[in-house]
Amino acid sequence: VLPLIRFDLLGDTTHAISTRLGGVSRPPYDTLNLGYANQDDEVNVAANRATFLQALGVDTALVVSGWLSHGTEIAVFPAGEADRWPLSWETMRPGGRRRERLFRADAAVTDARGVYFMLTFGDCVPLLFADRRHGVVAAAHAGWRGTAGSIGPAVVRAMRKQFGCDPADIVVGIGPSIGPCCYAVGAQVVETFRNRGAIHQLECRDGLAYLDLWASNERQLTDAGIMPGSIENARLCTSCRTDLFFSHRAENGSTGRFGLCIGNAPDDDG
């Protein structure tokens, strides 16, 4: 059985976060590398993606992947308007052969059934959103730039504006990512968060500044109207747990990516 991270609060919404276990890639991508943006063999990555999606019961053909820009753009996929979805078929890396359905954004939201978002991570914060009353799901990739740009609240805004969601109905899962134990940051990041008035999310130890991306995202989400009890944080540090996850920081950039998948299952009668 493939190990998967799931959130109780997301209930029966189809979702999971992968670990690095159970795949076919060789070091330093061992073994379940889901990211194409490295030197791993594309055939292995495709096989690993299929393994992850199969464990979730998700049809590979229904998956759309994010092409990350480390910004705060949100791709919106309204049901019944599939012709307007911000999708393109593109090769996953320069000179690569594999073409995937991609959206160029760090977050995506939909009320459609039968579409699943996949994003990949190697320290940045995975955010998974669901409003079961409106059947809306969303996913976001919040690194320090996305967090500084308040990508979580931007997703909540898009869910309200596009689909009429009430923040009180929205539940959020915060996935494995680099924790306040390990995330030493430089002057540029310190300056950015200080300017945002988020100085309490920085801690100085042994002459270094550590940023708490978890606290920062939680605070932004509750400020955006999410109930504190509606946020579930896995509190797993990727840098501490390279036995389970890929960590760009802990592995000096030479590593793979684990991923999240979230979506609404297709209609049974569809």
User: Which is nearer to Zn ion, 173 or 179 (by Cβ)?
Assistant: 179
Using CB under 5 A, which of the segments 1-9, 140-148, 230-238, 257-265 binds Zn ion? 230-238
Q: Concatenate the DSSP letters of all residues of 169-191 into one string.
A: G-EEEE-SB--TTT-EE-HHHHH
- 104 or 249: CB nearest Zn ion: 249
- Token match 């996305």: residue? 146
Please, what is the minimum distance in Å from the beta carbon of residue 6 to Zn ion?
22
**Between 72 and 147, CB nearer to Zn ion:** 147
State the nearest-atom distance from the C-beta of 142 to Zn ion, in Å: 17
Position among 9, 62, 182, 234 found at the interface with Zn ion (CB under 5 A): 182
Any contact of residue 240 with Zn ion (CB under 5 A)?
A: yes
d(CA 85, CA 106): 15
State which of residues 102, 107, 142, 237 lies at the interface with Zn ion (CB under 5 A). Answer: 237
Q: Are 231 and 221 in contact (CB under 8 A)?
A: yes
Fill in the amino acid letter for 109.
V
Q: How far is the CB of 236 from Zn ion (least distance, A)?
A: 9
Least distance in angstroms from the C-beta of 240 to Zn ion: 3
Identity of the residue, 46 or 215, whose beta carbon is nearer to Zn ion in the bound complex:
215
One residue of 38, 44, 239, 264 binding Zn ion per CB under 5 A: 239
Task: Return the SS3 of 89.
Answer: strand
Chain-centroid distance of CA 25 in Å reads 21
Rank residues 176 and 179 by Cβ distance to Zn ion and give the closer one.
179
Question: Hey, how many other C-beta atoms are within 10 angstroms of the C-beta on 32?
Answer: 27
Pull the structure tokens for residue 257: 């990516």
Query: Over 67-108, what HEC string results?
Result: CCCCCCCEEEECCCCHHHCCCEEEECCCCCCCEEEEECCCEE
* Minimum gap (Å) between residue 237 Cβ and Zn ion: 3
181 binds Zn ion (CB under 5 A): yes
Q: How far is the CB of 258 from Zn ion (least distance, A)?
A: 16
Q: Residue 243 half-sphere exposure, CB side, CA atoms within 13 Å?
A: 2
- The reply to whether 262 sits near Zn ion by the rule CB under 5 A is no
Which residues, 37 to 96, sit near Zn ion by CB under 5 A?
Answer: none
Q: Which is nearer to Zn ion, 65 or 216 (CB)?
A: 216
- At residue 247's C-alpha, the angle toward residues 245 and 251, to 5°, is 120
Size of the site for Zn ion (CB under 5 A): 6
**Sign of torsion, CA 18 20 26 29?**
positive
Give me the amino acid identity at 169.
Answer: D
Classify 161 as helix, strand or coil: helix
Structure tokens at 164: 């009429």
Which residue lies nearer to Zn ion by CB, 13 or 217? 217
Q: To the nearest whole angstrom, how small is the minimum distance from the Cβ of residue 179 to Zn ion?
A: 4
- Interface ranges with Zn ion (CB under 5 A): 179, 181-182, 237, 239-240
